[in-house]
Amino acid sequence: LAQVPVAVSVKNDVSLRSSVFKSNNVSFHETSRASRLSMDFRATSFKSRSQPVVCMSVQQASKSKVAVSPLSLEDAKDPPLHLFKNKEPYEGTIVSVERLVGPQAPGETCHIVIDHGGKVPYWEGQSYGIIPPGENPKKPGNPHNVRLYSIASTRYGDSFDGKTASFCVRRAVYYDPETGKEDPSKKGVCSNFLCDSKPGDKVQITGPSGKIMLLPEDDPKATHIMIATGTGVAPFRGYLRRMFMEDVPTFKFNGLAWLFLGVANKDSLLYDDEFSKYLQDYPDNFRFDRALSREQKNRNGGKMYVQDKIEEYSDEVFKLLDNGAHIYFCGLKGMMPGIQDTLKKVAEQRGENWEEKLSQLKKNKQWHVEVY
């Protein structure tokens, strides 16, 4: 969990994730939301950044929820899947790319907004495929392979009009272990393309894909426990915006959303202002626990990883699972063994068999995992 990626999920690329976010003065129904709803959201959040990063959409989060359109996006009974294939991708346009992390964060993570013109609709928890420009070095004459990124926005996008999708991408770079110098020839092709892109640049999109991380909405009073490392927070940002920011007539969330986020340090926190605002406005419906591996110690004096934070609240977590809570995991593949070991240890301490419990959670469709 030490050097986790940030915001959009890039699953099958060396390019972890970067999340860039730049919606300058977003207008909705011809009304400027940036000026109307701007406020200081950092009252309860960490303050270590020398230059605090504030995404414009954060400034649109207010106690009075934001209207969204078109509401016809709520009509579909099933999630949209594979509307655009690898051989015939949709050409989207980069709206903005913004650095999400502070100066002391290891690596760079960006929030990236892409305009899909309403032609590539998706549901919260799904992914887009991105085909970076250029030739595949392993298959001369052919395009690069598709890289998957979890979408970090709701179906209405950061401008609330159903025409954009956001990614949280960590720029993947490689340092030679002997020289300690960066080797550009081994950098992540897609993550660097996205993080280096400029407004107006074109991007090849496939998808959407994925059903594992879809947010179950049949019970508005349900409990959702979300566990993320770095950019694995992407789908959860979409969930939380839908729950607490948007005015969706057909979905009035009144349950509990509990987010555990593991990153290296305060400067690495993603969307912290946004989440802190929900904590302020919806204290009965949202909980937020941060695990900062390079700044916090666990109960044994070691580094604080997300599984240590879960262990702190293990009794509550297990009771919520017993009562039907959904639990989600998203982030680096390496996060799961430590989390599984912790959950197994806690189960044994409670006199339970973890394998049997896990099997039951999967059978009940309470267990959702997407790692890369």
> Where does a domain end: 179, 208, 237?
208
Residue 50 annotated in ligand binding: no
- Confidence class of residue 179 from pLDDT cuts 50, 70 and 90? confident
166 is in an annotated binding site: no
Let me know whether 194 and 237 are in one domain. Answer: no
Q: Is 350 annotated as a binding residue?
A: no
235 and 183 in a common domain: no
Same domain, 170 and 93: yes
pLDDT (tens digit per residue) in 106-148:
999 999 999 999 999 999 999 999 999 999 988 989 999 999 9
Does residue 180 lie in a domain region? yes
- Both tokens of 367, joined, read 């267990």
Q: Residue 63's pLDDT is what?
A: 62
Dihedral, CA of residue 165, residue 169, residue 171 and residue 174, to nearest 10: -130
- pLDDT for residue 13 is more than 90: no
Same domain, 231 and 316: yes
Residue 363 sits in a domain whose CATH number is 3.40.50.80
If asked whether residues 179 and 316 sit together in one domain, one would say no
- Indicate whether 370 pLDDT > 60: yes
Q: How far is CA 155 from CA 34, 73, 160, 251, in A?
A: 20, 7, 8, 13
- 258 in the same domain as 193: no
Q: Choose one of 208, 242, 267: the last residue of a domain.
A: 208
- The residue that leads in pLDDT, 61 or 171, is 171
The answer to whether residue 42 sits within a structural domain is no
Note whether 227 and 367 are same-domain residues.
Answer: yes
Total domain count, the chain: 2
Strand 202-209 and strand 31-32: the pairing is: unpaired
198 and 235: one domain? no
Same domain, 239 and 347: yes
Is 18's pLDDT higher than 90? no
Alpha-carbon span 90 to 207, nearest angstrom: 9
87 lies in which domain range? Answer: 71-208
269/350 same-domain check: yes
- The predicted model scores a pTM of 0.82
| Mean pLDDT, the chain, integer | 85
Any domain includes 356 = yes
Is there a single domain that holds both residue 138 and residue 102?
yes
What is the rounded distance in angstroms from the CA atom of residue 207 to the CA atom of residue 151?
A: 11
Residues 251, 185, single domain; the answer is: no
370 is in an annotated binding site: yes
Domain end position, chosen among 181, 208, 235:
208
Q: Is 36 among the annotated ligand-binding positions?
A: no
Q: Which residues are catalytic?
A: 149-150, 330, 370, 372
Report how far residue 276's alpha carbon sits from residue 246's, in angstroms, rounded to the nearest whole number: 16
Average pLDDT over residues 316-321: 96
